[in-house]
């Protein structure tokens, strides 16, 4: 009789344990979205302090050890203290926002008052700005932890993320390749979960290239939507700032805290009242159903490189998936693209604006600035040589803003935007679609050059674009799951909400997001909670 009661009690215990396990939530740092992290915060299964410790452990395991991604310039020495204070605040008065206690990785061309802002240049080691960049201040005010500064193509001047300060950052999925650029440090580090959210800057394609190369999401906003104040500049006309994240939903969350008028950046007058109360309200899974999408075949490779068929195959599969999700997808032709490819219709103005913008930036640093102007910076001779050579050429353009060629290119950019919008209007399109680049991200050889990128569609037109995971190349010894290939949607001015809506729908339909095999989970990163 006693034995029977014991057996019943044991059976009941197992049943209760099974029911508890059935109702338990699973947390995995490598796959967790901002929403997942907030759920764990709310259940008191996770704290900001613990989250920061987990990210530090991953940096210690994988940035200079293991795959040696070489992405992190500096971790905020006060990160744990900041996290503890934010945890205390949460317990007393609740979270400030959805990003309260979330570690953010900054491309190291964003000013911070409490950490050096080097632009990944030896010449700027120890340079500290008098205040935060506008966007950094917004993130701090929302309770985000400014966790670390990461590598970039020095001064954001190339597409491969190599610098005099850090050297070459490596791709999280294939360590024989670059991570794209110029925001490649952010791309590699976010892919490896060294932080949860990241920032990029995009003059040519510098936010979207690392997103494409590292199976991430990157947004280039419409010119004027997000302030560039406090970000080391290249071109007043083409510079933008934006998020790099693992999921579209995370990018939407981050956008809410990046947009806004800034009197220090006059361009943001254009963005006043042109963003929704929250971009997260556009995260609708079935948004592709009924969408009209224009595919641009001119932006495919011509078959002259072995990578072209690989990227084309991913593109064709993306079209099939969009159609399966209910979208109408059809090819459109943009005549100006042929002229651009032939070199008869030139768009870039960054070289003409470079010296002007850099001189203004050094002035903004105040009397403690290491350099008064770009010429002094170049004369120091500490910059990665290919970048230094480019900067030398920029300093030769005296009175560049009065150059007739500069004026011609500004007109060309305006014409290009008009043509793209007219094409979308003609066919009643929601977006234009293409792969971010015609080839895979390039090998990390000596002085690599990232070629055949299509990101100029956004940077040279001023139109918004979002890049997101589109698939992978075939697996290889160097890339066990293949090399990521990003696809891109381009929209009308200030259509970021629509871009997010359609990209989210594609993401949820295809589920291309995965984690890099070279940076597996560490102890304590995955757990169950009630």
Q: Is residue 1 part of a domain?
A: no
DSSP assignment of 497-527: HHHHHHHHHHHHHH------TTS---TTSEE
Instruction: Quote the pLDDT of residue 23.
Output: 77
How many residues belong to the chain? 530
Whether the ω angle into residue 182 lies within 30 degrees of 0, i.e. cis, is yes
d(CA 152, CA 184): 6
Taken in order 490, 258, 352, 210, the sign of the CA dihedral is: negative
d(CA 519, CA 190): 11
Angle at alpha carbon of residue 218, lines to 216 and 221, rounded to 5°:
170
DSSP classification of residue 414: H
Instruction: Quote the pLDDT of residue 13.
Output: 53
Instruction: Quote the pLDDT of residue 262.
Output: 98
Q: Nearest to residue 70, comparing CAs of 137, 129, 152, 142?
A: 152
Q: Is residue 412 part of a domain?
A: yes
d(CA 447, CA 229): 31
Q: Nearest to residue 184, comparing CAs of 30, 64, 72, 328?
A: 72
Q: Nearest to residue 194, comparing CAs of 49, 53, 303?
A: 53
CA atoms within 13 A on the CB side of 501: 19
Please say whether the beta carbons of 225 and 11 come within 8 A: no
Please say whether the beta carbons of 106 and 187 come within 8 A: no
Residues 6+ apart with CB under 8 A from 340: 346, 347, 456
80 phi/psi in degrees, rounded to 5: -65, -40
Angle at alpha carbon of residue 497, lines to 491 and 502, rounded to 5°:
70
Instruction: Quote the pLDDT of residue 5.
Output: 52
d(CA 469, CA 216): 6
Instruction: Quote the pLDDT of residue 9.
Output: 45
Q: Is residue 205 part of a domain?
A: yes
Instruction: Quote the pLDDT of residue 398.
Output: 86
| 309-342: burial string, b at 16+ Cβ within 10 Å, e else | ebbbebbeebbebbeebebbbeebebebbeebee
Instruction: State how many domains the chain has.
Output: 1
Work out whether strand 484-490 and strand 465-472 pair parallel, antiparallel, or are unpaired. Answer: antiparallel
Terminal-to-terminal C-alpha distance of the chain: 36
Q: Is residue 402 part of a domain?
A: yes
Instruction: Quote the pLDDT of residue 251.
Output: 98
Instruction: Quote the pLDDT of residue 447.
Output: 87
Please say whether the beta carbons of 155 and 232 come within 8 A: yes
Q: Nearest to residue 51, comparing CAs of 61, 43, 39, 41?
A: 41
Residues 6+ apart with CB under 8 A from 305: 438, 439, 452
| CATH number of the domain within which 111 lies | 3.90.1300.10
Which residues does the chain have with pLDDT short of 50?
A: 1-2, 6, 9-10, 15-19
| Structural domain boundaries enclosing 426 | 41-513
Instruction: Quote the pLDDT of residue 6.
Output: 45
Query: Quick one: which H or E segment has residue 26?
Result: strand 25-28
DSSP classification of residue 231: B
Q: Nearest to residue 257, comparing CAs of 146, 93, 94?
A: 146
Query: Quick one: which H or E segment has residue 91?
Result: helix 79-93
d(CA 5, CA 194): 52
Q: Is residue 110 part of a domain?
A: yes
- Show the tokens assigned to 464: 């918004």
Instruction: Quote the pLDDT of residue 302.
Output: 96
Residues 6+ apart with CB under 8 A from 381: 388
pLDDT digits (tens, 9 = 90+) for 184-197: 999 999 999 999 99
Instruction: Quote the pLDDT of residue 22.
Output: 61
CA atoms within 13 A on the CB side of 129: 23
45 phi/psi in degrees, rounded to 5: -90, -10
| 200-216: burial string, b at 16+ Cβ within 10 Å, e else | bbbbbbbbbbbbbbbbb
d(CA 104, CA 115): 14
Query: Quick one: which H or E segment has residue 200?
Result: strand 197-201
Q: Is residue 6 part of a domain?
A: no
Q: Is residue 446 part of a domain?
A: yes
Taken in order 14, 19, 22, 26, the sign of the CA dihedral is: negative
Catalytic residue numbers read 107, 182, 206
Q: Which residue has the tokens 């020495």?
A: 77
Q: Is residue 5 part of a domain?
A: no
């Amino acid at each position: 009789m006693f034995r029977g009661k014991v057996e019943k009690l044991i059976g009941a215990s197992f049943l209760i344990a099974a029911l508890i396990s059935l109702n338990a939530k699973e947390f995995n740092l490598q796959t967790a979205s901002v929403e997942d992290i907030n759920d764990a915060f709310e259940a008191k299964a996770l704290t900001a302090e613990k989250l920061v410790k987990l990210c530090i452990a991953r940096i210690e395991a994988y940035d200079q050890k293991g795959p040696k991604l070489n992405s992190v310039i500096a971790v905020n020495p006060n990160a744990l203290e900041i996290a503890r204070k934010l945890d205390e605040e949460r317990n007393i008065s609740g979270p400030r926002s959805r990003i309260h206690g979330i570690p953010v990785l900054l491309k190291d061309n964003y000013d911070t008052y409490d950490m050096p802002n080097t632009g990944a240049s030896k010449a700027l080691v120890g340079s500290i700005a008098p205040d935060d960049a506008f966007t950094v201040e917004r993130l701090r005010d929302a309770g985000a932890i400014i966790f670390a500064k990461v590598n970039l193509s020095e001064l954001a001047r190339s597409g491969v993320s190599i610098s005099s300060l850090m050297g070459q950052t490596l791709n999280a999925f294939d360590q024989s390749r670059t991570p794209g650029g110029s925001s490649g440090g952010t791309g590699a580090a976010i892919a490896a979960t060294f932080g949860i959210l990241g920032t990029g800057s995009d003059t040519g394609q510098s936010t979207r290239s690392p997103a494409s190369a590292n199976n991430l999401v990157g947004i280039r906003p419409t010119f004027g939507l997000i302030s560039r104040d406090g970000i080391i500049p290249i071109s007043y006309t083409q510079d933008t700032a934006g998020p790099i994240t693992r999921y579209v939903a995370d990018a939407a969350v981050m956008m809410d805290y990046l947009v806004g008028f800034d009197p220090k950046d006059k361009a943001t007058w254009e963005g006043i009242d042109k963003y929704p109360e929250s971009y997260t309200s556009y995260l609708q899974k079935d948004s592709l159903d009924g969408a009209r999408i224009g595919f641009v075949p001119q932006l495919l490779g011509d078959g002259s490189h072995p990578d072209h068929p690989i990227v084309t195959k991913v593109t064709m599969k993306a079209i099939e998936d969009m159609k399966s999700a209910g979208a109408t997808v059809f090819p459109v032709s943009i005549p100006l693209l042929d002229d651009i490819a032939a070199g008869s219709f030139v768009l870039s103005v960054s070289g003409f604006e470079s010296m002007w913008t850099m001189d203004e930036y050094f002035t903004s640093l105040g009397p403690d600035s290491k350099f008064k102007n770009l010429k002094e910076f170049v004369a120091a001779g500490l910059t990665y040589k290919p970048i230094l050579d480019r900067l030398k050429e920029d300093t030769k353009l005296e009175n560049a803003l009065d150059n007739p060629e500069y004026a011609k290119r500004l007109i060309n950019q305006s014409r290009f935007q008009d043509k793209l919008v007219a094409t979308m209007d003609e066919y009643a399109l929601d977006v234009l679609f293409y792969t971010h680049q015609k080839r895979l991200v390039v090998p990390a050889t000596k002085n690599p050059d990232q070629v055949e990128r299509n990101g100029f569609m956004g940077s040279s037109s001023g139109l918004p674009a979002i890049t997101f995971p589109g698939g992978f190349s075939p697996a290889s010894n160097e890339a066990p799951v293949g090399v990521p290939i990003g696809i891109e949607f381009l929209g009308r001015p200030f259509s970021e909400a629509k871009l997010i809506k359609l990209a989210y729908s594609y993401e949820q339909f295809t589920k291309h997001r995965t984690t890099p095999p070279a940076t597996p989970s560490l102890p304590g990163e995955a757990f169950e909670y009630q």
